[in-house]
Amino acid sequence: MFISPSYHPASGWQGIVNTMYWLLAWIVRLVTQSMFAHAAVIIDLGEGETIVEAIYPQVCVSPVDKYDYEAVVTVVTVPVTTEQYTKAVAMARSLVGHLYGLDDCLIGAIHDLLGDEAANIVKQIDAKGTVDCSAVVALIIRCAFPDFMAGHATAEVTPQGAYEEIITLPGAEIVESSAVRRWRW
């Protein structure tokens, strides 16, 4: 999932990416009962738009066109203010370099499959300070929308859960949902 904060009225928070042809992506979608296997944020950290994403071994910055030819991409935009955008940029910068947490992926999957009680038991294995892709998205979106995924720890957020919540944000609009994205930002 891409979520891109932008103070430009034509942009906003943006999208979801589903990497259909990766074995790991297929497993993630199966276990989380989701259409989506990955979440990321498109954001300008000062040198043009880039993707901030949690991929093993850590949260990193990737080129904005990295997923141009993935199997399924859905883009959702949500308008944000300059103040919200500034907070999101600060959070994105602070997350770069954090270690990727496979434990967070497991917690999210257990939460989606078995519910809160099971997730609470599994949270005992949570290595504090690690994040998965959905946690990065949740932390950044919460800078603009503090109630985003209210009641859920960031480790419980999955790409599907984040998507379902993003499309309910004020002004959210699905602007692209394609089998193959062949355009640039």
Q: What is the pLDDT of residues 19-37, one digit of tens each?
A: 555 677 777 777 777 777 8
Fold exhibited by the domain 2-178: endopeptidase fold (from Nostoc punctiforme) (3.90.1720)
Does the structure show a pLDDT above 80 at 38?
A: yes
pLDDT the model gives residue 92:
93
Q: Where are the domains of the chain?
A: 2-178
Neighbours of 156 (CB within 10 A): 24
User: pLDDT tens digit string along 128-149?
Assistant: 778 888 889 899 989 889 999 8
CA gap 158, 133 in Å, rounded: 8
Q: Provide the 3-class DSSP secondary structure of residue 181.
A: coil
Amino acid 57: pLDDT: 92
Residue 176, burial from CB neighbour count under 10 angstroms (0-12, 13-18, 19+): middle
Distance (Å, rounded) from C-alpha 26 to C-alpha 40?
17
Distances (CA, A) of 58 to 36, 98, 101, 114, 130: 20, 5, 8, 27, 8
Residue 96 has pLDDT above 90, yes or no: yes
**What confidence tens digit (pLDDT) does each residue in 72-82 have?**
667 777 888 88
Please report the pLDDT score of residue 10 as a whole number: 38
